[in-house]
Amino acid sequence: MIRNQRVRNPYEPVRVSTSPLPREVAVAVTERSELFPGVRVDPESLRLYTAGELYAPLIGYTGPITEDELQKLKDAGYLADDDIGRTGIENVYEQYLRGTYGWREIERDAAQREIKTLALQEPTVGNTVTLTIDDRLQKLLDGELRKGVQEDRFTQGVGVALNPQNGEILAMVSIPAYDNNMFARGITSKEMAALNADDRHPLVNKAIGDMYPAGSTFKMVTGLSALQEGTATRNTVVNVSSTSFSVSGQAFFDWRAHGSVNFITGFAHSSDIYFYTLAGGSPMAPNVKGVGPEAIAKYGHMLGFGAPTGIDLPDEAAGIMPSPEWKLQNFKEEWSIGNTYHEAIGQGYVAVTPLQLLNAYASVANGGTLWKPHLLKQVNDAKGTAVYTQPPQPIRKLDISQDNLRTIREGARLVVTSGHAPMPNAKLPIAGKTGTAEFGAANGRDSAGHNKLGFHNWFISFLPQADNTEPTAQIAMAIFLYDSSKSLCEFCINPAVGMSQRILETYVLGNK
C-alpha cells in the first residue's frame, strides 16, 4: 500500500492507515516521535452520519478513490489518498459537497525538517446540500415499517412519499438498511461480507433499485388505457357471476364473484375478471372489446413504467413494461391471451419500482403531469448564500382526458370508503389502491429469522385537500411490504392500509 502511494506521488506524505487511529495511539506516536522518524499524525475531518440507517439508502457513503478515478479526476484537484462519494447523495452531488485543498510552500533543511512557511493558501469547505426530505415524515415511515418487521408481519418494507404537484421527495425509507458510519470509520472485511451475505440486500435502496410485480395497483394503467381508447367507459358493466372463466382450456380467476360491477366499483373492489375483460375481452362480457396489450404498453410507458424516473440517486432500476414486441425480442415467443390477462392485473412480466408506481399515481392525483422526482432542494455555499435552487422538472403531460383521470381518482376514493381498504374512524379523505402479488413459496426464514410469507402487499395513497375528485393532492405515498401475508379483500388485512392511515393522520393532523 505504501509503495503504491509513493509511486503515485513521491513528493507527498503517505497515508499509513486508511482507518482513523484511536486517540491513545495518535497521542503515543506524537509524544514519542523520535522513535518513529518520518512518521507524523495529521488530524483530518471524518464523516459522521447522525441518522445512520434512517438515511443511509439516500445519503450513501464515501470511499477511497481508485487508480482509474484518480487518472480522470487529478486535474480537478483530487489526490491519491482522497475519498469520493460512492453511493447516494454523496455520489450524485460530489461536485457540490467537495471543498478545495489549501497548500503551503515550505522551506526544509538538509534533514527534510520544516524550517518555515513561505506561502499559504487556506482550504475551502464544500457547499451545503439541502434535501426535500421532511425529517418528521421520514421518521414516521421508518417507525411504522420497523415495527412491522419486528412484529414479524413482513420481512422487508419500503415507504416513499412525494409532493405530486412538483415531484419533491418528502420521505424515502428502505428497510432493512445499513449504517453508513461503518464506511465512514472504515468497514471491516467481516462486516462487508455480512452485508453481502444478507438475503434481504440491505445495501440496496429498494425504493428505486429493485423491481417487483405491481399486482392490482397496475389496474389503474389497464383502466386508463380502456377509458382513453374508448373501449370502455365509467358505465361499462361486467357481470362477474363466478370466480373464474376459461379461455382455450386455461382458467383465470377472481378472488370472489362480485356480481354486476361498473368501472368505479370494479376498480374499488379490485375485480380481476373486470380488468381481464377490459384488457382482452372475456366470456362474461362478450359485448366488451378488450383494449389489447399494445395500448396497455402505450399508456404504461406514458405513465413512466419501463424507464427510470430520473431521480437524483444512482442505480435506479428501469422496471419492465411488457408488450408483444418486448416478448418477441426477449423470449422469441408470441404474445398470448394469458399474457394479456396477467398484464392487466400487474402480474406476469410487469415489474415496477416503488417510486415508479408512486410517481404514476401522483400524475393522476395532480391532474396529468408526470414530474421528475428529486431530492435536491437547494445548495448553499459556506456563507449560507444559495448557489443553486432545484426547479420542478416535468417529464411529460399525460395524453389522457381530465374526465378519465377524475374517474380513477373517484375509484381510488371508493377503495377506502367502500371498505375494500378499511380505515376505521378515518379523519382524512384518503384515496388509494391496494395490490397483492404472489412471488414465491410461503415457507422458510430470511437472514434475520423472519418468516417468509410469500406475498407482496402494496398500498398507494394520495390525499386530496377535501373529499372530492379534484387534482389538489399535496402528498402521495407508497408503502410496499415484502414477504407479507396474503391480502385481497375487505375481510383480509393488508398491513400497508392501516400504516398509511396512521402515518398520514399523524403527519397532517399532528396526532400522537
- DSSP symbol at 66: P
Q: Which of 81-95, 104-118, 135-149, 425-439 has the lowest mean pLDDT?
A: 104-118
- The CA dihedral of 475, 480, 486, 490, to the nearest 10 degrees, is 0
Q: Which residue has the higher pLDDT, 123 or 242?
A: 242
Residue 390 in domain: no
Q: Mean pLDDT over residues 94-112, rounded?
A: 86
- The packing angle between helices 293-302 and 337-344, to 10°, is 30
Q: Mean pLDDT over residues 22-30, rounded?
A: 82
The pLDDT tens digits of the residues spanning 180-194 come to 999 988 889 999 999
The number of C-alpha atoms within 13 Å of 366 and in the hemisphere containing its C-beta is: 24
Q: Which residue has the higher pLDDT, 219 or 35?
A: 219
Amino acid at 91: N
Q: CA-CA distance, 283 to 276, in Å (whole number)?
A: 10
For the cut 60, the answer to whether the pLDDT of residue 244 exceeds it is yes
Q: What is the pLDDT of residue 194?
A: 94
The C-alpha R_g of the chain, in whole angstroms, comes to 27
CA 250 to chain centre: 36
Q: What is the pLDDT of residue 512?
A: 53
Q: Mean pLDDT over residues 353-381, rounded?
A: 98
Residue 112 in domain: no
For residue 324, is the peptide bond before it cis, meaning its omega torsion is within 30 degrees of 0?
no
For residue 275, give the nearest of 256, 257, 297, 290 by alpha carbon.
290
Q: CA-CA distance, 103 to 101, in Å (whole number)?
A: 7
Residue 357 in domain: no
Residue 250 in domain: yes
The helix (run of H) or strand (run of E) holding residue 261 is strand 259-261
Q: CA-CA distance, 206 to 175, in Å (whole number)?
A: 8
Q: Are 341 and 194 in contact (CB under 8 A)?
A: no
Residue 98 in domain: no
For the cut 80, the answer to whether the pLDDT of residue 34 exceeds it is no
* 44-to-1, 69, 82, 101, 175 alpha-carbon distances in Å: 20, 22, 11, 12, 32
Residue 110 in domain: no
Tally Cβ neighbours within 10 Å of residue 29.
16
Tally Cβ neighbours within 10 Å of residue 88.
23
Taking the alpha carbons of 496, 499, 501, 503 in that order, is the dihedral positive or negative?
negative
Residue with cell 472485511: 189
Q: What is the pLDDT of residue 265?
A: 98
**What pLDDT band is residue 21 in, cutting at 50, 70 and 90?**
confident
The pLDDT tens digits of the residues spanning 139-190 come to 999 999 999 999 888 889 999 999 999 999 999 999 999 999 999 888 899 9
Give SS3 for 72.
Answer: helix
Residue 331 in domain: yes
For residue 424, is the peptide bond before it cis, meaning its omega torsion is within 30 degrees of 0?
no
- CATH code of the domain containing 223: 3.40.710.10
- Give pTM, 2 decimals: 0.90
Q: CA-CA distance, 131 to 307, in Å (whole number)?
A: 24
Tally Cβ neighbours within 10 Å of residue 226.
28
Range of the domain at 300: 213-308+318-352
Categorise residue 315: left if φ over 0, alpha if ψ from -120 to 50, beta otherwise.
left
Q: CA-CA distance, 51 to 171, in Å (whole number)?
A: 14
Taking the alpha carbons of 380, 383, 384, 389 in that order, is the dihedral positive or negative?
negative
Q: CA-CA distance, 160 to 355, in Å (whole number)?
A: 7
**What pLDDT band is residue 203 in, cutting at 50, 70 and 90?**
very high
Q: What is the pLDDT of residue 35?
A: 80
For the cut 60, the answer to whether the pLDDT of residue 490 exceeds it is no
Residue with cell 364473484: 257
Q: What is the pLDDT of residue 115?
A: 85
Amino acid at 127: N
Residue 481 in domain: no
Give SS3 for 114.
Answer: strand
The helix (run of H) or strand (run of E) holding residue 457 is strand 455-462
How many structural domains comprise the chain? 1
Q: CA-CA distance, 81 to 16, in Å (whole number)?
A: 10
Q: CA-CA distance, 349 to 240, in Å (whole number)?
A: 25
- DSSP symbol at 74: G
At residue 287, φ and ψ (nearest 5 deg) are -85, -10
